[in-house]
């Protein structure tokens, strides 16, 4: 079956055109294409982008299917415009063997909403003691290229060095959760004025920045590839900027929620705002926006972290860290960045660059004839109110409940097959 997307604007360009999709690829681009045997879809002047790619998604399966499954998480991803997500390793059992990463990869293929690229654990059981089977995961059917103990920092410098060296053999990358554990014992929120006023144990910025500085130096020493997860402080942005200036092969991501929310929200004691790394200050938020705009921060990643109701709706101290984010990501980024990013730059930071970092060859590709038809169509004039009860995710812990967001994904295509049409599952 072929599809004809009519009246669309690739990358938000001025003139509307048509895009024919056939055999999973873009077959023709031009105004007024004949319908032929194609199924038409009127884009109504919407913005056509490469399908979004998330470097940082928690799908919880296997082990915590009460919070999320690959089926529900990838459907939420498709509704958010994503055609590929990287599934983090903190499952039960941990994704630290070829068997587990292949299971997650196959669950993604069976669900069919978007491609799932499993992230392999750096250490066995995420315990930070012994390196996991990185090579066998890389050679598995899942072809893992991103490795992370996310949720835990690889705090042992010697182990981190060996991991950075080891993954060079297959062009892998170590994605670090930058959190010095000895500086964050019992931490509940950002360390600062608000934590003092609220009487909550603080999570100091230096706990993130110290690990980033160390790991940038290690990556430079071994010529390894380093990725920094969920950068959250102004100092972290400066460290990444410095390292890039020195030629270190380092990339960094920022979450949508760290681009807009601040630690003032902790004063509500609503655990929906409890997240790791914590929400920071207005100064940090501005530095993150500037870093994303100027390219110091390479990409946006959701850190979609669904939780079962009983794990999140508790008193602040007992509640789990984390927020959902796949369905709201694009709207939050557009809201946060305003006119700082063009649609072309949005495509770079939410599709092309994360695909390159994760070595996903068929995603984040140009909108051009012959390229894979992994695409999303956005209504740039839409405004919508976030309703957690309408989410495709199994969990409801979004910090944006009741917020009005700009733009909305109206269609998503995975290898030419619609997964979302008119804002609903196809």
- With DSSP H G I counted as helix, E B as strand and the rest as coil, what are the percentages for the chain, rounded to 5? 35, 25, 40
Judge whether 372 and 363 are in contact, CB under 8 Å.
Answer: yes
Mark whether 294 is an active-site residue.
no
Judge whether 58 and 76 are in contact, CB under 8 Å.
Answer: no
Find all residues with CB under 8 Å of 58, minimum gap 6, and list them.
68, 73, 87, 88, 90, 303, 304, 305, 306, 322
One DSSP character per residue, 31-85 reads TT---TTPEEEEEEEEEEEEPEEEEEE---TTT-TTT--HHHHHHHHHHTTEEEE
Question: What sign does the CA torsion over 386, 389, 394, 395 have?
Answer: positive
Judge whether 68 and 61 are in contact, CB under 8 Å.
Answer: yes
At residue 360's C-alpha, the angle toward residues 49 and 228, to 5°, is: 95
Q: Which candidate in 18, 149, 263, 303 is catalytic?
A: 303
Buried b or exposed e, range 291-323, using 16+ CB within 10 angstroms: bbbeebbbbbbbbbbbbbeebbeeebeebbbbb
CA 225 to chain centre: 18
Give the 3-state secondary structure of residue 274: coil
Q: Which residue has the tokens 């009127």?
A: 42
Q: Which residue has the tokens 């920022």?
A: 254
Give the 3-state secondary structure of residue 376: strand
Find all residues with CB under 8 Å of 338, minimum gap 6, and list them.
none
- φ and ψ of 300, to 5 deg: -100, 135
Active centre residues (catalytic)? 303
């Amino acid at each position: 079956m072929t599809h004809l997307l009519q009246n669309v604007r690739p990358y938000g360009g001025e003139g509307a055109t048509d895009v024919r999709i056939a055999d999973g690829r873009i077959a023709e681009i031009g105004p007024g294409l004949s319908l032929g045997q194609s199924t038409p879809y009127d884009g109504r002047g919407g913005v056509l982008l490469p399908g979004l790619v998330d470097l940082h998604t928690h799908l919880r399966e296997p082990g915590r299917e009460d919070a999320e499954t690959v089926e529900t998480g990838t459907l939420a991803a498709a509704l958010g415009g994503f055609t590929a997500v990287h599934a983090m390793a903190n499952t039960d059992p941990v994704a630290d063997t070829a068997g587990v990463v292949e299971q997650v990869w196959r669950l993604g293929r069976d669900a069919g909403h978007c491609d799932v690229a499993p992230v392999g654990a750096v250490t066995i059981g995420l315990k930070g003691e012994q390196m996991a089977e990185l090579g066998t995961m890389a050679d598995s059917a899942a072809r893992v290229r991103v490795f992370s103990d996310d949720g835990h920092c690889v705090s042992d410098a010697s182990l981190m060095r060996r991991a950075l060296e080891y993954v060079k053999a297959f062009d892998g990358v170590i994605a670090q959760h930058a959190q010095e554990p000895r500086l964050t014992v019992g931490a509940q929120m950002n360390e600062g004025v608000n934590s003092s006023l609220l009487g909550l144990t603080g999570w100091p910025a230096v706990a993130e920045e110290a690990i980033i500085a160390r790991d940038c130096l290690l990556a430079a020493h071994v010529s390894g590839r380093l990725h920094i997860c969920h950068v959250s402080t102004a100092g972290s942005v400066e460290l990444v900027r410095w390292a890039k200036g020195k030629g270190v092969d380092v990339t960094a991501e920022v979450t949508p929620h760290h681009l807009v929310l601040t630690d003032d929200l902790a004063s509500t004691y609503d655990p929906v705002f409890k997240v790791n790394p914590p929400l920071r200050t207005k100064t940090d938020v501005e530095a993150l926006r500037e870093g994303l705009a100027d390219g110091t921060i390479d990409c946006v990643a959701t850190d979609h972290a669904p939780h079962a109701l009983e794990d999140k709706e508790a008193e602040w101290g007992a509640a789990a860290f984390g927020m959902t984010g796949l369905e709201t990501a694009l709207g939050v980024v557009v809201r946060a960045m305003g006119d700082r990013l063009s649609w072309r730059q949005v495509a770079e930071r939410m599709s092309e660059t994360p695909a390159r970092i994760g070595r996903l060859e068929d995603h984040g590709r140009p909108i051009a004839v012959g390229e894979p038809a992994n695409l999303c169509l956005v209504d740039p004039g839409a405004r919508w109110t976030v309703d957690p009860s309408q989410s495709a995710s199994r969990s409801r812990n979004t910090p944006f409940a009741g917020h009005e967001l700009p733009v909305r994904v109206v269609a998503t295509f995975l290898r030419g097959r619609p997964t979302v049409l008119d804002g609903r599952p196809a």
